[in-house]
Amino acid sequence: MSLKRVRGTEDLKEESQLKHNFIVETAREAARRFYFQEISTPILEFTEIFSRTLGVESDIVNKEMFTFKDRNQEEITLRPEVTAGVARHFITEKLHQHLPLRFFYQGPSFRYERPQKGRLRQFHQVGIELLGEPSPRGDIECISLACLFFQKLGIEKELTLEINSIGDLESRTQHREALLSYLKPLKNKLSEDSQRRLKTNPLRILDSKEEQDKELIQSAPSIQDFLNKRSKTFFEDVLKGLDALNIPWKQNSLLVRGLDYYNHCVFEFKSSHEKMGSQNTVLAGGRYDRLIEIMAGEGERVYGVGWGAGIERIRFLIQDYPSFPRPIALVPLGEEAENLALKLAWQLRQEGLIVFHPRAMSNLSKKMKRASQMRAKYALIFGPEEVKNETLSIKNMDTQTQKPIPVSQALSFFKEKLSDKA
Ligand code: ATP
Ligand code: MG
């Protein structure tokens, strides 16, 4: 039997779990301010949901999916990303008449990648999808939501927004031809993957992380020179909108999305912090006006724009995060006191207080030591004598002062403390 963790997965606890929770809660709150409502789609979807939309030639479908046949011989895939699931939901629930729609999601995705710093096989994302919004204002709103999220995490200064336009289909077709004329003579110098992409998806070559490709890409024809009027105007409007909100951006004409359904604006938030290593994109997004059409195979266009952010990568940047709240420690001594403690703990917890009851410890000093390890704010100490007199000793762990209090008043004492805080 193997008791190892599966490669590329991790156990979260304490600091990593608290940071994870902080990121999810902060994203949820930022999304709420923009009236994006939370959706949870299944982790299991039929494989076709992804192969149809991401394209059989994409890296994800080609080599990164966790796919298996279930007992009924159905082809199932652990979702490698969430957008396709949200689009599937939109189509199956026939939500056209409810547009525009704003979704927020959080949860795990799975990709069979080579695990390294910032790259896992089970990773977690928060993300948003705005459906039914054709105007650049949709892009601006999504990007500003990302900014608010990073502000609230206190890491906005560590990140740079890079933005580009890949234009509409017409602009891209023109650019593709120029790109092919430039790259074809250089074919033998390209990486193996990029040689294959030359046939399937040349735009994606611009996104290559292989050193040998990077150099050639620098002098490749830029998509910016092929944007038609409509695409140009769209992009300029997004940039103007960001300026109006004082959101700094940097244009990166090599930024692309290799998937067919993306168009116009694409963007990423990157960190240049050394602790990120080469996995420095924490959030990636763009406009995907053709996704739902492609997935449904028919029907009206449903404009879409959204982003997904990797929680594990954001975790590297988080310094300050809320710690687990400080408890009240119960320190009963003897059988009867233990029984009273159970009852008292139940009452206090029902009132909303956090109560820690270090039962397995045998004597007073061990229990008190445990209480300070757990960062208790107060300790309630009571032995047989106190039970008889119906009093407790209440110790403020910060000031180390102790005073007696009748059992009947303990509840109201802490209730007051609770309302002090509010
Ligand atoms: P990369 O270029 O790093 O492979 P990607 O283009 O595959 O990223 P997206 O599909 O756009 O990534 O996912 C959005 C975000 O999710 C990424 O920017 C990253 O923060 C995170 N992410 C993607 N794949 C992983 C992974 N395997 N492990 C951890 N985080 C990931
Ligand atoms: Mg990837």
pLDDT tens digits, one per residue of 260-271: 788 999 999 999
Cis peptide preceding 80, ω within 30 of 0:
no
Contact criterion met (CB below 8 Å) for 26 and 149: yes
Rounded to an integer, what distance in angstroms lies between the CA atom of residue 398 and that of residue 408? 24
Ligand 2: distance of its center to the CA of 313 in Å?
Answer: 13
CA separation (Å) from 96 to 14, 211, 292? 43, 45, 11
Residue 313: exposure state from Cβ atoms within 10 A (0-12, 13-18, ≥19):
buried
Length of the chain: 422
| Ligand 1 atom closest to 59 (CA) | 7
Q: Could you tell me the pLDDT band of residue 422, with boundaries at 50, 70 and 90?
A: very low
Residue 361: predicted pLDDT: 67
CB-based contacts of 291-298 (< 8 A; 24+ apart in sequence): 291/53, 291/83, 291/84, 291/87, 291/261, 292/87, 292/90, 292/91, 292/131, 293/261, 294/52, 294/53, 294/260, 294/261, 295/49, 295/52, 295/53, 295/84, 295/87, 295/88, 295/91, 296/91
Q: How far is the CA of 257 from the centre of ligand 2 (A)?
A: 11
pLDDT at 59 > cutoff 90? no
What share of the chain has pLDDT > 70, as a percent? 98
d(CA 68, CA 59) in angstroms, rounded, equals 18
User: Measured in angstroms, how far is the CA atom of residue 163 from the centroid of ligand 2?
Assistant: 18
State pLDDT tens for residues 122-138: 999 999 999 999 999 99
- Number of Cβ within 10 Å of residue 338's Cβ equals 15
**Torsional sign, CA 49, 54, 56, 60:** negative
Please state, as a whole number, how many other Cβ atoms lie within 10 Å of the Cβ of residue 141: 19
Quickly tell me which residue has 């410890």 as its tokens: 361
Residue identifier of the C-alpha nearest atom 29 of ligand 1: 119
pLDDT tens digits, residue range 229-270?
A: 999 999 999 999 999 999 999 999 989 886 778 899 999 999
Do 411 and 394 meet the contact criterion of CB atoms below 8 Å apart? no
Please give the mean pLDDT across all residues of the chain.
Answer: 93
Q: Each residue of 1-19: pLDDT tens digit? A: 779 999 999 999 999 999 9
Q: Is the pLDDT score of 417 beyond 80? A: no
What's the confidence (pLDDT) of residue 421? 56
Statement: residue 328 has pLDDT above 70: yes
Q: Which ligand number lies closest to the CA of residue 124?
A: 1
Q: Average pLDDT for residues 272-280, to the nearest whole number? A: 86
Q: Assess contact for 311 and 82: CB atoms under 8 A.
A: no
Integer angstrom CA distances of residue 320 from 99, 152, 317: 38, 11, 9
Note the pLDDT tens digit of each residue in 72-126: 999 999 999 999 999 999 999 999 999 999 999 999 999 999 999 999 999 999 9
* Secondary structure string (H, E, C) spanning 88-100: HHHHHCCCHHHCC
**pLDDT value of residue 277:** 84
What's the pTM? Answer: 0.93
What is the pLDDT, as a whole number, of residue 400? 95
Determine the average pLDDT of the residues in 400-418.
Answer: 89
285 - beta bridge partners?
267, 307
Within 10 angstroms of residue 33's Cβ, the number of other Cβ atoms is: 11
Partnered with residue 241 across adjacent β-strands are none
What's the gap between Cα 38 and its chain centre? 13
Q: Are 366 and 416 in contact (CB under 8 A)?
A: no
pLDDT given at position 258: 65
Q: For residue 60, report the distance from its CA to the centre of ligand 1, in Å.
A: 11
Minimal-distance CA residue to ligand 1 atom 26: 119
